[in-house]
Amino acid sequence: MLRGLTTVSFFADDVLAARDWYTELLGIEPYFVRPAEGTPAYVEFRIGDYQHELGIIDSRFAAASRPDNAAGAVAYWHVDDVHASVERLVSMGATLLEMPVGRGPGFVTASVVDPFGNILGVMYNKHYLEMLELRPIASRA
């Protein structure tokens, strides 16, 4: 039934500020912006080895029952160095939610709250690296 991660959606009251923050964090511009002219209501980045989508949506489109505090499921993004990633995120204005924690051999997780109130999880995950190695050689560019 669940075949894989497609898009992680974050909400922000100021989509322009969130776009700029994530552009700096990721080192790339969003590949999709709606509307194309004026203040965007939605921007989307393709990131990582599998080009997963990270969307930033204007908070006015959030479900009415969305809590004001950071809550809900945490999507973890694989990183090569959890401690360095957390340091960078905090230096950019994120708030530490959970310090790096070893979850067993080959697994370390941590999370922050971005400046827009979304939980951003980072993880070193040996299974992610194993799956990456299984990709056909042509797609490992």
Which CATH number goes with the domain that contains 89?
Answer: 3.10.180.10
Sorting pLDDT into bands at 50, 70 and 90, what band is 46?
very high
Domain count, the chain: 2
Q: What number is the average pLDDT over the span 90-117?
A: 95
**Residue 124 · residue 139 · CB < 8 Å:** no
Judge if 49 and 99 occupy the same domain: no
**Where is pLDDT greater, at 112 or 2?**
112
Tokens 């921007």 found at = 43
**Residue 109 · residue 121 · CB < 8 Å:** yes
The domain of 28 spans: 1-60
Judge if 48 and 82 occupy the same domain: no
Q: In this structure, is residue 66 part of a structural domain?
A: no
Q: Is the pLDDT of residue 141 over 70?
A: no
**Residue 10 · residue 26 · CB < 8 Å:** no
Q: Is the pLDDT of residue 59 over 80?
A: yes
Maximum CA extent, the chain: 48
Q: What is the predicted pLDDT for the residue at 105?
A: 94
Q: What number is the average pLDDT over the span 101-124?
A: 94
Q: What number is the average pLDDT over the span 67-86?
A: 87
**Where is pLDDT greater, at 29 or 62?**
29
Judge if 54 and 13 occupy the same domain: yes
Q: What is the predicted pLDDT for the residue at 2?
A: 66
Q: What number is the average pLDDT over the span 90-118?
A: 95
Pairwise CA distance, residues 125 & 105, whole Å: 9
Instruction: Tell me which residue of 105, 117, 32 sits closest to 66, measured CA to CA.
Output: 117
Judge if 56 and 1 occupy the same domain: yes
Q: In this structure, is residue 67 part of a structural domain?
A: no
Indicate the pTM of the whole model.
0.85
Instruction: Tell me which residue of 74, 54, 75, 47 sits closest to 12, measured CA to CA.
Output: 54
